[in-house]
Amino acid sequence: MMKLPLVLVFTAMTALFWGVYGILLHQGTERLGHSSIRAFIGVGIAYFLIAVLVPLGVLSSKKEKGYWSLGGSLLSLFAGTVGALGALGVILAVAFKGQPIYVMPIVFGCAPVVNTLVTSWLNKSFSQIKPLFIVGLILVAVGAVGVLRNKPIGKAIAKPEVTTKESEKPADSADAPEKAKPETHEAEPTAANPLAIGGAILLAVVCWGAYGPFLHLGQMKMGGSRLRPFCCVGIAYFIIAVAVPALIVMSTPDDIKLDWSQITSGMMWSIFAGAAGAIGALGIILAFNYGGKPIFVMPLVFGFAPVINTLTSMLIGGSISQVSNLFIGSMVLGIAGAVTVLVFAPKAKPHGAPVPAPSPAPSTTAS
């Protein structure tokens, strides 16, 4: 039975933490010399700590409903994999010179559509999709895009000063003869690659759209367990966001020179970002546990996470006074769409209840 208040609370929890995820990750990336791959490693470390070690500790100390199953584990690992690949897609899109002002609206606007298609395919519920549900979905997507496109531009954050050693400071002009300045040739900025940007955005849209439905299916195949699928998501994130990037960083020549304070600060911000992502993932599992379905939980998350992101950015940047009517109208559209999605969401058939644990086969004794 669905407990709607709890479903909405945990959905809001995910939207909140996923809304601040990008802001925290940006801070980590800046402090790590604009190295997205290093920041991504910090995200993976946080997932390992919160979504692997903590659940394993809880599962070993007290019983939780549900059970381990091969099918549920594989589906949850797959959900974690597509979640991590979706985050990587966003990072790659920006690394290929894609502007966040259009990358994120496309991702947040299209991922709910993919989510609805995948959920309806898995549940065989295409016939139950009502026109008003589609209208609500469109309103959520348009609202999210409008919020991101029309958010006020805050004050530019000053870049951290680069300190130089005393021995590296130039000699005083009065004491040292004037030296001819060597000719410098500034490298021309790399042009954006539309094909690479489009591929990275497509990766993020498809992966994030498929994340919720497969995670829900994996949870149901583990008897409705909360921590077991969460643990699988953490393992997948660790492999994709820590092990693989670490190998790339160690095997690739790097011109970025950072001191320990920059590395520590950048990794801490990145770990905070990963913690927000992991807590958001747990919020989705809890929303599913209390009867929420991916077909309306995920559109709500993708609709309100950009709003949280924008409001937080405005508070940090001091741009609340620059709010426009288009921004407010987009928020209203998103809220109206969310209500419509909730009211007219199709009812899923096959995966509505957890799969009970298989009973042990009766022992046979020779007479």
Q: Is 352 a member of any domain?
A: no
Task: State what percent of residues in the chain have pLDDT above 70.
Answer: 81
Q: Is 354 a member of any domain?
A: no
Q: Is 23 a member of any domain?
A: yes
Predicted confidence at residue 267, as pLDDT, reads 93
Summarize pLDDT for 19-64 with one digit per residue, the tens. Answer: 899 889 888 888 888 888 888 899 999 999 999 999 998 888 777 8
What range does the domain containing 264 cover? Answer: 4-154+193-252+260-344
Task: State what percent of residues in the chain have pLDDT above 90.
Answer: 30
Q: Is 62 a member of any domain?
A: yes
Q: Is 164 a member of any domain?
A: no
Tally of domains in the chain: 1
The pTM (predicted TM-score) of the whole model is 0.76
Helix boundaries (H) for 62-99: 70-95
Q: Which residues contact 52 (CB under 8 A, 6 or more apart)?
A: 231, 234, 235, 238
Summarize pLDDT for 62-93 with one digit per residue, the tens. Answer: 778 889 999 999 999 999 999 999 988 888 88
Q: Is 93 a member of any domain?
A: yes
How many Cα atoms are found within 13 Å in the side-chain-facing hemisphere of 61?
7
- What's the rounded mean pLDDT across residues 147-168? 55
Q: Is 159 a member of any domain?
A: no
In the block, residue with structure tokens 């502007």? 99
Q: Is 276 a member of any domain?
A: yes
